[in-house]
Amino acid sequence: MKKRLARRHAAERRFRFFGYAAIGVAVVMLSILLVSIAIRGWPSFEQTQIRLTVPLDRSALEGLEGVSQAEAESAALRLDFGALVRAALALEFPDVTGRADVRALQALVSSGARAEIRDRVLADRSLIGKTIELWVSGGLGRFSEAQRQWVEELQGRGLIRRSFNWDFFTRGDSRDPELAGILGAVMGSLLSLIVCVAVAFPLGVCAAVYLEEFAPDTRWTRLIEVNINNLAAVPSIVFGLLGLAVFLGFMGMARSAPLVGGLTLALMTLPTVIIAARAAILAVPPSIREAAQGLGASPLQVVSHHVLPLALPGILTGTIIGMARALGETAPLLMIGMVAFVVDVPTSFSDAATALPVQVFLWSDTPERGFVAKTSGAILVLLGFLALMNAAAIVMRQKFETRW
């Protein structure tokens, strides 16, 4: 007996060791993944700015004075603000005269510097004819030896600084990595999630209440329950095909719209919400139902006044987890066209939009080296949103969980 007991204790120690080892390996691998993404993505949260002394000559800004703001904005589209950038760089490096050298010198600043100067002039047209100092975004990419020398010279003059890249959070997508931001993708995901919650939550709760409290135990009811459980395991791209066929093909809704994306994600999330809601309703003790019925409450009153309020924390927890899964989905949104290049930030449910995981997919497929940091930065933001949603589910479960 002592030998058998010793072998059993040894087996338990080995089992505990393998369990700890598995957890340790998982934590190490996850740490490596997160650290590598953070290292790659951190440059997207910083930007290099160059201070330029820009002469706003009246000859270069002809048509902006003495007109209305709308006319000035229209006239600005026809002006060459790149000439002002070249003039500002020529003031700093008067010895650079060759065409190739001038082009290389201009690559030190972002292509968005033209838009920054234009916006500054349109915001205050009294500056026309004056010389202003303006911090503009620096360019990205591999610099040549001459460009590195120019950068060192600008640093020696104090004309270069590093700052937090607020543009990454306040701009939409762009072909230029230094100008690309995630605001459009974040708004697209937010609008899609609003539609998803508005559709999946009430339908899922109502379906769970009916199946758990009112549906008779028949063959059709059991068939519906089996299909709901099977739908929860269906690959998400299948729901994308369903959304493509129903919402775009049959109903003719706008392609790439958050409304269609939210409805498609609602189809995918609905089985998860139903299963979570049924589990929460089933966890309510039968004695509560029996006590309410003994006091004369109708079946609807029992559910609405007693069962549903007690099951609501579990229902909300399951719904938040389902929404977190919907936030990270890419395949269904690819099928309904939310993979388009969208520069403007969507403001309504019918505007063309993309989503944050789709934006990550688009940037990862771009050959520009500058988008490597943007891709990892967007992944970090997406992981932050997912962590917040899962943390909210955990806090809600611990705070409102009822122990019987």
379 part of a folded domain: yes
The pLDDT of residue 275 is 92
**Does residue 150 sit in the same domain as residue 189?**
no
pLDDT band at 254 (very low <50, low <70, confident <90, very high): confident
Tell me what the pLDDT averaged over the chain comes to: 87
Is there a single domain that holds both residue 203 and residue 321? Answer: yes
Q: What is residue 402's predicted lDDT score, i.e. its pLDDT?
A: 64
The answer to the question of residue 22 being in a domain is no
**CB neighbour burial string for 139-168, b if at least 16 within 10 angstroms, e if fewer:** bbeeeeeebeebbeebeeeebbeeeebebb
- Classify residue 138 by its DSSP letter: B
* Same-domain check for residues 57 and 149: yes
Same-domain pairing of 156 and 223? no
100: domain range? 49-163
> Is residue 401 pLDDT above 70, yes or no?
no
Which pLDDT does position 143 carry in this prediction?
Answer: 79
At residue 31, the pLDDT reads 92
Mean pLDDT value of segment 215-240: 88
190 shares its domain with 152: no
Cβ-based neighbour number of residue 90 at 10 Å: 15
10 Å CB burial of residue 54 (0-12, 13-18, 19+) is buried
Domain end point (choices 163, 193, 221): 163
The answer to whether residue 268 is domain-embedded is yes
CATH of the domain at 234: 1.10.3720.10
Selection from 140, 146, 155 nearest residue 50 by Cα: 155
How many domains does the chain contain in total?
Answer: 2
Centre a 10 Å sphere on the Cβ of residue 231 and count the other Cβ atoms it contains: 17
Task: Label residue 338 by pLDDT band (50, 70, 90).
Answer: confident
Tell me if 29 is assigned to some domain: no
Mean pLDDT of 206-220: 89
For 390-400, how does the pLDDT look when each residue is reduced to its tens digit (9 = 90+)?
Answer: 888 788 777 77
The predicted pLDDT at position 263 comes to 93
202 shares a domain with 137: no
Q: What is the pTM of this model?
A: 0.84
Same domain, 190 and 125: no
The answer to whether position 14 is within a domain reads no
Q: In terms of domains, do 139 and 190 share one?
A: no
Please indicate, yes or no, whether residues 306 and 231 belong to a single structural domain of this protein: yes
**Mean of pLDDT values over 91-103:** 85
| Contacts of residue 314, Cβ cutoff 8 Å, sequence gap at least 6 | 276, 277, 279, 280, 283, 397, 401
Q: How confident is the model at residue 215 (pLDDT cuts 50, 70, 90)?
A: confident
